[in-house]
Chains A and B, each alone.
Chain A
């Protein structure tokens, strides 16, 4: 394959260039500063950004990369968007004041360990409207904007917005021309020193000024349109577009057509796919701590008519993923009960043979869940994973999910009066008030207190968040990105003003396992076995099990727990899950849409755990809480294994979770974990109604050695929670958590 012949050169050229990041853009921002008058809207400021980018921003081609995309927007190397030129608005005083206001409110509102909150809007985790880009090009979008301006009665705000979209499209045209011109110049320079670089520059010279200004007409043009558009939104719109989308769906017609006409060979198509797969690793610097590339691709699943996607391009990309064995992009594979055994085996093979994080998303559950969340089925069928796996309907939905993480188990500790003063102060006494533990006579009474506290916390959180989110359009609109989303253009409304067909918000819930297990612990110790009164038990927890290690061990190893597939734990989990789903329906976002319940953790479970007191499942204070909706990792594996985990799913209803729910499955590295076995596990996961599954296998002994002598393991990678990283570059706390988690299954 040709890719092998230029891969090293591409990596080296990119490394040399990105080392110089961030580039100096002070000349550009100075001009924007000058253009801004005091009463200008966010749309107009964004328009200045597009103008300045079109006039002055440099672009960069690499001799041994066939694609054109890199814009010297002044971002840092390891930031995918929202900085430099695109971050001009986000870094402005108006935005930062709101952000700081929101964060400091949140700090006074909630006791530590209840939430991890990053911002008041989720600027990341977006998915662009790929179909629009491929069908119309930016020229088509501009023409539509122009015709709306001509023919529709519009408010001033709408006019400003449409004019900004037009500027954005013109900017796309100008940038394309810059790439063409640069290619032409490079062709005559010493940079063009191999046959391949000549071929690449020639092609770019002839393509970039046309596409994506015009709609692409070849496989090469279509791939490059996706890369270019994503880069443009990330560099100039102040948002993170995380996903390249459903490659085997959107690129298939171009692939088939080019193969048939002989415009491309299968090998050439493979090379382009392998280059795309390798692009992220080549651009990022993984030696830095916790590098988050937020880059995903999506494969498989059903198309908008419900037909199975598993085609020659799917398999070609599978092959490229395995061959490239990169750390990124994250791979999201959509599976259904209609996919063949061969597809499952191949998909699992990918998961076992790449360092990237690979997730399996179950269409059979996620699509109906999204429909339950109010999406039309055709839109739901076009979902993709966002930054890691957070699902979002491509081209129709704007979702804010991965900015706020709620620790479910911390709600129980608050009910029990463990460090809960701020939270009670925040919730007015009508919705939740501190309880006398001795008044709780039955387990059900306690359970109801937990649910009403959780409801009160959720509703209060959503109201407070919405009060800030309503300012989104003023401080960080993204007109060009919005113009690719259904409804925004027609209604001349930015996505940040709720213009997209669906605007969804959620806090991601985690520590489900810790909460289920803690409830079971209290039920057994206090109400069933009557070993201690509830107050006495809470005292033990507050002492962090001091002098009660036997009780702690008893809780860990003798009480039913989530994932052991016992009737008792399954019932508790099912009841709690239903209640969590229902109570979140009382929450509404700034666009007056119902919350979309979801379970994610990322690695917040470690940090939330640090501020969580000892819990009634035997977990010590400060230790990580459980991840997302996965069973606890610290309960050992005496009674738990992939079979119990997956069978326990039968009791649970994930169709009420339109934001989906991720379950991690940690497996020891063992030769027995063959493709056939893991394929059977995955198929059964789908059959039993799971939402998202990620396999994580690592050799714990090697990780321990790497922790001791990091210098000997510079390349060792590990799947953390929805992302892969160089192990030795991870924060020490995360390293330790990964090792402890894996030790449980070794």
Chain B
């Protein structure tokens, strides 16, 4: 595995005025590098930790840059008023931000000194010790729940889901606020079996702690063009059928009506 510095981070983007990655107005920091290879990934530039070259409309553009915690903080602090007034803050996303946990830890401490709300958008495939190192400074985890079957998970993401699921359970046990994000891709995780597995897993999770929100994210092909710009072959996936999405939603809502004491928000992003 590449070695990561606590002094600088390798990012591929910083998105200000981000309104879909946690509550309020946020700045989302996209870390470069990921320990999974989801076949439907719409951020191909996030996968490799290396600086790459993308051809955009005839220009070669570097993808990826290194930034010090100090410089990153000064960008993040620009919008502190927007965070405070909207109940927003900063989200670390990627790629897999947790691969650069040492850097994140340092930045999180800085953010908490300013009383800024923090969120980590993670796919979960890192040792739990990485999470432990930052737990105290994170307000919300946005945690991907992709495929429940370990074999299928391995087939479509390149890794087993064992570590991922145990991390999710552990975060809940540590009483951390967690929003679960479920990408649904046609043919990958949209069978009745997949739904059954997901529901029974969610009901098990409820025993560990409180799930803050569940977001169902149907596959979209918006990031496709970026594969070509990087010189890669685009994956071929499709959005799930509407009735499958409806079934997911129905079953999840039902689960939570049964557990009335567990308050959860359910939303589908289209």
Contact = CB atoms under 8 A, between A and B. Distances in A.
B199 interface: no
Interface in A663-699: 670, 672-673, 676-677, 679-681, 683-684, 687-688
B24 A680 contact: yes
Given A553-B59, A642-B17, A643-B16, A676 B82 contact: no
Interface residues of B, number: 20
B86 A647 contact: no
Given A550-B58, A680-B24, A681-B25, A673 B86 contact: no
A680 B87 CA distance: 9
Contacts of A672: 19-20
Contacts of B58: 550, 553
A642 B25 CA distance: 10
B24 A644 contact: no
Given A553-B57, A684-B81, A641 B16 contact: yes
A565 interface: yes
Nearest to B75: A565
B16 A676 contact: no
B78 interface: yes
A17 interface: no
Contacts of A680: 24-25, 81-82, 84-86, 88
Contacts of B20: 672
B59 A677 contact: no
Most buried by A among B19, B56, B88: B19
A554 interface: yes
Most buried by A among B16, B84, B87: B16
Contact of B81 (A550, A673, A679, A683): A683
A550 B81 CA distance: 39
Most buried by A among B20, B79, B85: B85
B19 A684 contact: no
A91 interface: no
B86 A643 contact: no
A308 B21 CA distance: 36
Contacts of B56: 557
A323 interface: no
B265 to A, nearest CB: 13
A687 B81 contact: yes
Contacts of A568: none
A688 B78 CA distance: 11
B53 to A, nearest CB: 15
B78 A565 contact: yes
B57 A643 contact: no
Contacts of B82: 643, 646, 680-681, 684
Contact of B25 (A557, A643, A644, A688): A643
Nearest to A647: B78
Interface string B80-100: 011011111000000000000
A676 B19 contact: no
B85 A554 contact: no
A558 interface: yes
A643 B86 CA distance: 12
A18 to B, nearest CB: 44
Contacts of A687: 81
Interface in A539-561: 550, 553-554, 557-558
B78 A684 contact: no
A687 to B, nearest CB: 6
Most buried by A among B24, B57, B82: B82
Interface in B1-33: 16-17, 19-20, 24-25, 27
Q: Determine chain A's interface SS by DSSP, over half rule.
A: helix
Contact of A643 (B59, B79, B87): B79
Contact of A677 (B16, B24, B78, B84): B24
A434 to B, nearest CB: 35
Contacts of A553: 57-59
Contact of B86 (A554, A557, A676, A688): A676
A672 B25 CA distance: 10
B70 to A, nearest CB: 16
Nearest to B84: A680
Interface in A627-646: 641-644, 646
B17 A644 contact: yes
A529 B64 CA distance: 23
A382 B162 CA distance: 67
Contact of B78 (A554, A643, A670, A673): A643
Most buried by B among A672, A684, A687: A684
Given A641-B17, A643-B16, A677 B79 contact: no
A102 to B, nearest CB: 45
A565 B17 CA distance: 13
B57 A677 contact: no
A673 B87 CA distance: 13
A670 B25 CA distance: 14
A644 B16 contact: yes
A408 to B, nearest CB: 27
Nearest to A672: B19
B19 A647 contact: no
Contacts of B16: 641, 643-644
Contacts of A565: 78
Contacts of A550: 58-59
Contacts of B88: 680
Contacts of B27: 643
A642 B85 CA distance: 14
A565 B25 CA distance: 17
17 contacts: A553-B58, A553-B59, A554-B59, A557-B56, A643-B79, A644-B16, A647-B79, A672-B19, A672-B20, A677-B24, A680-B24, A680-B25, A680-B81, A680-B82, A680-B85, A684-B82, A687-B81
Interface of B: 16-17, 19-20, 24-25, 27, 56-59, 78-79, 81-82, 84-88
Given A557-B59, A643-B79, A673-B19, 18 more contacts: A550-B58, A553-B58, A553-B59, A641-B16, A643-B16, A643-B27, A643-B82, A644-B16, A644-B17, A647-B78, A647-B79, A676-B24, A676-B86, A677-B24, A677-B25, A680-B85, A684-B82, A684-B85
**What are the 10 closest A-B residue pairs judged by CB atoms, nearest first?**
A680-B85, A680-B86, A643-B17, A641-B17, A643-B16, A672-B19, A684-B81, A643-B79, A647-B78, A677-B86
